[in-house]
Structure 1
Amino acid sequence: MDEDNRVTRRRVGDAEARHANRRWWDADADAYQAEHGHFLGDVDFVWCPEGLREADARLLGEVAGRRVLEVGCGAAACARWLATQGARPVAVDLSAGMLRHAGQAAERSGVRVPLAQADALALPFAAETFDIACTAFGAVPFVDDSAALMREVHRVLRPGGRWVFSVTHPMRWVFLDDPGEGGLTAVHSYFDTRPYVEQDERGVASYVEQHRTLGDRVRELVAAGFRLVDLVEPDWPEGHQGIWGQWSPLRGRLFPGTAIFVTEKPAG
């Protein structure tokens, strides 16, 4: 914990985490889009700060004609891109602030998709509704019970459906959130899965981000009924000089910053 007790690692229950992150993203939506909106685009599917795009990676498989759920959509750029590829997307997010930006981007781009404010742990859809579910850094890192999120996504997917999500690579939790030299020294235990918490002067969480090891993620997915197809660890592209928080060319050339889990719900 730092000197003024505003940053710590501690267990946070589901209700406190949900309340904190909903308020955070509502309050931070404008600043987030101002800082990252150009990189993410209005109609584009960018998986990670390394710049890997679904147009190139094709991790979702064939999307034309498929019903696709974007979980934790933010401003829903991914869902709008999917719509231009012939998919039938629906985008959900817990934050009204981020969904406001999704509506503004729809107005700018002319590409509109159905939007819903919803909790990823209680998706407002019937079982076996979607062919594909996906998220680029949405929902998964911010819920206390991510195993329950995996089960919920499994519920709404049809047999044979694909679930693909990107998160901060778990090994990054060993290091400080520093894109420079200070972020090259291991200071935390990889096995300490207490979440990162920012809190107010009363000790109430205002931002919560969860850590799971690679093994934790695989076990969650398998327990929910998914089959792991691939684990993609994007390398840092030559010539990419952008810095996004802790992501930087310096760190990106040495160790992975993003993990993308590609999974399927068995057909039979």
Structure 2
Amino acid sequence: MTPPGRVGRTRPQTNTREPIIQEPEEPQPLEPEATRRPADVAETSRASRGWWDRNADEYQVEHGTFLGDDRFVWGPEGLDEVEAELLGPAEELKGKDVLEIGAGAAQCSRWLAAQGARPVALDLSHRQLQHALRIGTQGVALVEADAGALPFGDSTFDLACSAYGALPFVADPVRVLREVRRVLRPGGRFVFSVTHPIRWAFPDEPGPEGLSVSASYFDRTPYVEQDEKGRAVYVEHHRTVGDRIRDVVAAGFRLVDLVEPEWPSWNSQEWGGWSPLRGNLIPGTAIFVCVRDERDE
């Protein structure tokens, strides 16, 4: 789960009250340049794999407590599948084959396994999956692969899910959705959460400065962070609500629900641009509930 328009960290300042002798420092890599520009499928995938491999450790340290080891949380608001039942009642998950896409450290898959499901946790990042191994994988299979080319046969899974995984970070979401539909059995359900599209019109700030529109909601130009040679090191793609719905339909799914979680009173934490202040005024997460109808094509 990573918000668009991330704010880069600055290096700590040296205390200069006492004279000190310092060894010559190694040249520090330049902070990535944030811009908006096109990024194709290959460049986006390469950037995503590299970013998550480099930042997996920090991500798990910063957000691991909130996510837990075996909770199924749909987004920074803290909507839990225990209450939401977007995949169906927990008692009906037993014996189901479930694919989690963009699984990270496989927290959601661990919860699914505890309900008696047979989850497969898939992620592009090798380092994220190493964290899954560190926490434990009892009942969970791990697969390192690109969501746009799923290494499974047709009609392999009963359910699929993705909590902020893959879809915000791919240049061709229909390709991913078609792959998910392919590996689902007829009647199977796919539920995925993404940054709510309206958030792209606002600065990615948790305070009052994040409450004024600063960009066009209709500008689909990707958010890109690039190195000094112009190579993308982080890419996030914007789709409007209408785009997301059309993507779902174009992939052959039927959209049965669109959930916009409200910010709960118990959640006092800030996560990037997500905060109680903003969460009580504008939606931060959109969850799409899709079904592959039971028909042959």
| TM-score bucket of the superposed structures, by smaller chain | over 0.9
For 1:16, which of 34, 43, 46 is the aligned residue?
Answer: 43
Amino acid at match of 2:270: I
For 2:247, which of 199, 206, 220 is the aligned residue?
Answer: 220
For structure 1, which runs of at least 5 residues remain unmatched after alignment? Answer: none
**4+ long deviations beyond 2 Å:** none
For residues 234 and 96 of structure 1, do their structure 2 counterparts lie closer, same or farther at Cα, with a shift above 3 Å needed? same
Give the structure 2 partner of residue 251 of structure 1: 278
Q: Hey, what's the Cα distance between the residues in 2 that align with 1:217 and 1:240? A: 28
Q: How does 1:25-104 map to 2 (within 5 A)?
A: 25-61=52-88, 62-104=92-134
Q: How does 1:1-268 map to 2 (within 5 A)?
A: 6-61=33-88, 62-106=92-136, 111-268=138-295
Amino acid at match of 2:157: F
Contact 1:137-1:165 at 8 Å conserved across structures: yes
For structure 2, which runs of at least 5 residues remain unmatched after alignment? Answer: 8-30
Show CA shifts across 1:180-201 (max 9, x none): 1110010111110111101111
Q: Hey, what's the Cα distance between the residues in 2 that align with 1:127 and 1:172? A: 35
Cα drift, residue 239 of structure 1: 2.8
CA RMSD between the two structures: 1.4
Amino acid at match of 2:188: G
TM-score for the superposition, normalised by structure 2: 0.87
Show CA shifts across 1:90-137 (max 9, x none): 010000010000101117xxx341001000000000000000000100
1:237 is paired with a residue whose SS is coil
Show CA shifts across 1:30-87 (max 9, x none): 0000000000011110001000000110000131111000001000000010000011
Q: Hey, what's the Cα distance between the residues in 1 that align with 2:202 and 2:226? A: 21
Contact 2:119-2:139 at 8 Å conserved across structures: no
Cα drift, residue 267 of structure 1: 1.0
1:186 is paired with a residue whose SS is coil
Show CA shifts across 1:182-233 (max 9, x none): 1001011111011110111111100001110011111111111111110000
TM-score for the superposition, normalised by structure 1: 0.96
Q: Hey, what's the Cα distance between the residues in 1 that align with 2:294 and 2:188? A: 8
Give the length in aligned residue pairs: 264
Contact 1:106-1:112 at 8 Å conserved across structures: no
Amino acid at match of 1:28: N
Q: Hey, what's the Cα distance between the residues in 2 that align with 1:239 and 1:154? A: 36
Contact 2:267-2:276 at 8 Å conserved across structures: yes
Contact 1:69-1:132 at 8 Å conserved across structures: yes
Amino acid at match of 2:58: A
2:136 is paired with a residue whose SS is helix
Cα drift, residue 5 of structure 1: 7.8
Q: Hey, what's the Cα distance between the residues in 2 that align with 1:106 and 1:71? A: 18
Identity percentage of aligned residues: 61
Q: Hey, what's the Cα distance between the residues in 2 that align with 1:126 and 1:240? A: 41
Q: Hey, what's the Cα distance between the residues in 2 that align with 1:13 and 1:170? A: 20
